[in-house]
Structure 1
């Protein structure tokens, strides 16, 4: 007598256990399906919907029975799935590795490599471990379903099965996988947001405590490059006119270094038009410095600005396929904003330090000036005092002292000392009031050649006495300049006096005029002497005298050339000096224009 199916107690218990497990799993599948179809989190729902719209489901069916493959293949293709087929485990592993299906329907009992071993190998590889596996088993087959779940399977479908049931189970597990992916993405974004927030705090703390602009730029570029995994992070700053942008600091990992390079804003109008309007932009463009050329990068630029204006841009560079997310753009903007505040503070600190240094320098100049003035005023007074004592002695001890050579020398000392004192006081007063006088000068149109010929009459006798030759070298064309005659005379007199004072006997003093395209030059040239390059830098300083170079021992106040420079500025001209080939040339250069008088 045969045994009725299920009459064996052990077999009956196993069958009941399997039924209970199937009911529990079916209950779980319905619950997860409901959760997937009505997600609690709107972001997850959006991400899942987006995934489902952008990536159609790809199903890999693994079965050694061709009829089963064809039935499922036809049905699932009708439902819009892309279907891949494999008749054994080895083929399934290769297809899964290369095609990355979204779900695998895997027959349990197959020759050579069964479904459990195939599943174990799938889960052992990084590329395929996350693919959901649903086992296919015939109703008459006895399999260890627990083992399948332990190996990573997510469900069982019994053959033959209702096609609608297969579809529901596939959709359920695809939805579950999409949910896991969405949660993974959300968790990654959340962790990234936390990392970004920490970065902003870290960068803010570091640059807020720094008053060194270079250190601020270095910190911001380095931290951003590390957190955002950038190939390069650059900070470029505009010049004051916003006509050029220069890379002030760069943290580069893989791309060529560009620090210090500048580019003109006018050469990239569309790019900088948006940036100067304080709007970030993202673009893909080639890197000309890279070898081989033509390699492109994705650039994100965020303007560095505050309420006082825009300072420059923060650039992040990546491979062209790696797009910056909205969160990353926000992070760059926050760091750029912190950089603007820190740079302003650093520049304000540097400006205040510079002002302190300038004030200290001015105080030192004031002290030096007062000491020098005291000394210069004291020298002629000492001569006068000594001459007075000598005069008293002569008057007390000699009859008719006026006939004495000593008496005549004392009188000469009186005259020279008084003249020097008067000249020094006049120069000091002129120096003190020169800025105020600049506002009241009245320029006139002067015929320069006629004016020079009248002026040199005063110096002809003096040059003859010194055995010097005075020469005029005037331009062929008439020259007119707009200037205050008194100020112009003071300038030329001082230069001629210096020329007479420092030119040795038998040498030449030349007054020369030159007409250029944009200026008129009036030059005083004297030969037989040179001024070193070091002294040329100092001769316009107050109280500076060229040492041991006055053959006639005229002396001087040391303010003459200082006044020449300042007076020329009042006439909107400038003075320069050059010396070579045993001669010195001072030129006063007037801009070539006629003013309305």
Structure 2
């Protein structure tokens, strides 16, 4: 709602909020543009006559921005002439209401345009899908035409190839002798290349016996022999022809190598793997490409392998991956912290501004109101007091978090009865729960145990948890508070039948500045710091707090465990008649 008259705006905003709307306010055009960019409201009620930038110009600038052009704008003015209405529609408005506002009319128009906005968004989504389907169909047709053209070209090429093949057959006899000589030369060249290759090259038959090995392979096994590795049992290393992997490697390693050879023979195609083998200076990693060799009948008779040492590369890759993972983790953490900070500052600004707007609006009204209108003055003072207390609570929460982060919380420790603390907090929260029609049940099974701690901070723990439970529990719901001794600790449980917590958010429920989603900010006030403060204070008292929930809409349970003081001999007091009995509040 944008209006330069605070009293009018405050009254209308209060009436809208009473009917379930969440209202953000602005007092001029510039303020409205900033708040619309920040909050992305569902609809804007915009006054026409304002100092500085009027409503028409404000609307035109809203429609010119990519992020706000889709928000429906309803003009509010005391001017009902047709010319003004036409100007409003030309500026981008969707409707017009005349001051003084009739709330029922405003509600009907707001609901109507929100429904139209939703239907328009759905239609646009359907149009986008239809365009995508048309584009996909055109792409497929183009691909089909391309495939057809390619097939025709392939037929022509194949015809040309067959003609060339006939010519080649005529030349084959004359070239055969020259090919045999070339083959002898190439075999000598291949032998030289293999023997001088930096990679290991070897061939094994179907039983795993070595048929061939190059110089690099033999050199590595000479080094292994000199270092008394497992192959030391071989009588001679001048030639490894006829040996197997079981002669050269430990049994487990040999079986791994042999198993992959069998895979290559079964696949009857080249396969690649990494193999780890022992050498004189330790274990080395090789990238091995193995392929089957076939006889004239097409049956595999051996496995040929080329193995390249990638030990140093593997080490470098592992170090690089470790550094990359570390850097990515640090970057993700920093980005998450920046996002949480931005979201927190946005929420903080909204939470601080909202009560101030009400305070200033009612102060403006009271300064100009008839002092004899006692009911109006009383209502204004109540609104100012309520919003002032809300502002104070926000500031105190920020100061608590600041003190905790700076380790400046000074706990005034003394023996404290948790039963008395809980009873006091329940009594103070009861009026708010009754006003919301939320029933609080209290069960104190432990009334004698004492905790060494700061009574005020312990009350703060209970109050934050109980207030949260009431806040997130709908009318007609229930909140259960219980205290029970469990060995050397006392356990406080606060359960509710409220909104619950999703499984994804449950591990982060105590994180500072975290909210389950943006709707939490829309419907519930607060900075998202209360549970974080509870966890910090519980740990300062040597305790712990954790949350449980079966999921959204199924309520939540918060459990605080605090260490009890050692029991000392005291004069036995007569047992309380209601100790351990549950009662409704």
TM-score for the superposition, normalised by structure 2: 0.41
Q: Which has the higher contact order (CA 8 A, sep 6+)?
A: 2
